[in-house]
Every structure is written in C-alpha cells, then in structure tokens.
A and B are shown apart, each in its own frame.
Chain A
Amino acid sequence: GESVGLHLPTLSVQEGDNSIINCAYSNSASDYFIWYKQESGKGPQFIIDIRSNMDKRQGQRVTVLLNKTVKHLSLQIAATQPGDSAVYFCAEPKAGANNLFFGTGTRLTVIP
C-alpha cells in the first residue's frame, strides 16, 4: 500500500537561505502528490502538487521535484522567510479511495 514518509522531522534554516524538505514513498504506482503547509493551530494549506508524468513543477518560491526511480520527492523553498515556519506534509491519494494519506511531516523553523 501507499507509504509516504519524511526523512527529517525538523529542519532549521537561516532566513534567506533555501530549504529542502524530503519525502519518500513506497508505492511505485502512486501518480499524484501534494505538499501542504500547516501552521500552528490551523488546518493544512495547499502549496503545490505534482503528477507522476512530471519531474519538476514550480510555483511561487517553491519547487517540487519528483524522482520516480527512487520514489522520492522534495519541496524546495527559495529565500526562506520567517512566515515559512510551519510543518510541511507530503500527501497522496489513498489507493482505492478518494481521501489523502499524509506523511509524517517536517517542522521547518526559520531563524531570523
């Protein structure tokens, strides 16, 4: 079945630096992934998504890379700002269902 997990539970970066948050998955049939940002006490907020027919997708200051060979995806945040401090989750649709399965999450702390 699906398994979306993160390599690192916490990540601290200096303001202005780039951040890279990683996610691994186990189901080679997975074809769609979503990155969410969750601030303290709030619900998840959509950041960016990517389908398996793509290797890379860019948004505003964010880029998601998908490596299907090693079943790994990453979220890159350029010029990290204090407002980026949050927990980031990768998620994918649960196999055979229409709900989402969330990874463990990585807490990003931006140091001013």
Chain B
Amino acid sequence: GAVVSQHPSWVICKSGTSVKIECRSLDFQATTMFWYRQFPKQSLMLMATSNEGSKATYEQGVEKDKFLINHASLTLSTLTVTSAHPEDSSFYICSANRGLANYGYTFGSGTRLTVV
C-alpha cells in the first residue's frame, strides 16, 4: 500500500534556530501534500497545502515566512520551521493524496518538535 515517510520522528532545537521536516511518498507520486499541526489533546489542523512545482497554499493564520514549504519533486515536500520558538513546539504531520476516487489519503508518522 501507499507509504508516506516522514523524517525526523522527533527533534529538539534551540529557540531561534530552524528545523526542516521531510515528507516523502515512497511508492507513488504526489503532486499535492498537506502539512498538519497537532497540539496535545487536540485535533489535526491543516497548516498548508504543498503543490509540486508551485507555491504552497497556506491556511489563514499560518505565517508563510515562518513555515517554509518546498515541494521540489513529486515525492518530496519539506517544511522548515524558521526561527523556532517554544510555542512552535507541536506534532507536525504530513499527508499525501494519491488522487484516487476515495481521496486515498496517507499520513506520515509525524514529527514531534520541541523548541527549548
């Protein structure tokens, strides 16, 4: 079945530094990938839609200059949290859509970001 690999699974960084999270579709091509953020005991909230070869689409309230998204190939999207602060600490999850009739969403395993 479809597999989405997300790396790293966890990362601890210092305030002010940047962190890059990778999302790869291993056995299919994904023209669109999605980045979600999940705070403890809360649901997944869509941050942005990553489009291969074009600019990402950000949800309202998500700073595009802080959360840089690059979708340079059909199998890789990256999310870079720039100048991270403790309030950016969260669980970041990517997903990819195979474009099937049932949407075919597959999720990565998530990245736990802790900013200290």
Ordered by A's residue number, 28 sampled pairs between the chains whose C-beta atoms are within 8 Å are A32-B102, A32-B103, A34-B103, A34-B105, A36-B107, A42-B109, A43-B95, A43-B107, A43-B109, A44-B44, A44-B93, A45-B107, A46-B106, A49-B102, A89-B43, A89-B44, A98-B32, A98-B97, A98-B103, A99-B34, A99-B46, A99-B49, A99-B97, A101-B46, A102-B44, A102-B45, A105-B42, A105-B43
Q: Which residue of A lies closest to B36 (CB)?
A: A102
A41/B103 in contact, CB under 8 A? no
Interface residues of A in 57-112 (CB under 8 A from B): 89, 93-94, 97-105
Q: What range describes how many residues of A lie at the interface?
A: 20 to 34
In angstroms, how far is the closest chain A Cβ from the Cβ of B65? 21
**Chain B residues bordering chain A, tally (CB within 8 A):** 23
| B 15-46 contacts with A by CB, 8 A | 32, 34, 42-46
Known: A34-B103, A44-B107, A101-B46. 7 other contacts (CB 8 A): A42-B110, A43-B4, A44-B95, A89-B43, A97-B49, A98-B97, A102-B43
Q: Which residues of A contact B75 (CB under 8 A)?
A: none
Residues of chain B within 8 A (CB-CB) of A44 are 44, 93, 95, 107
A36: chain B residues at CB < 8 Å are 107
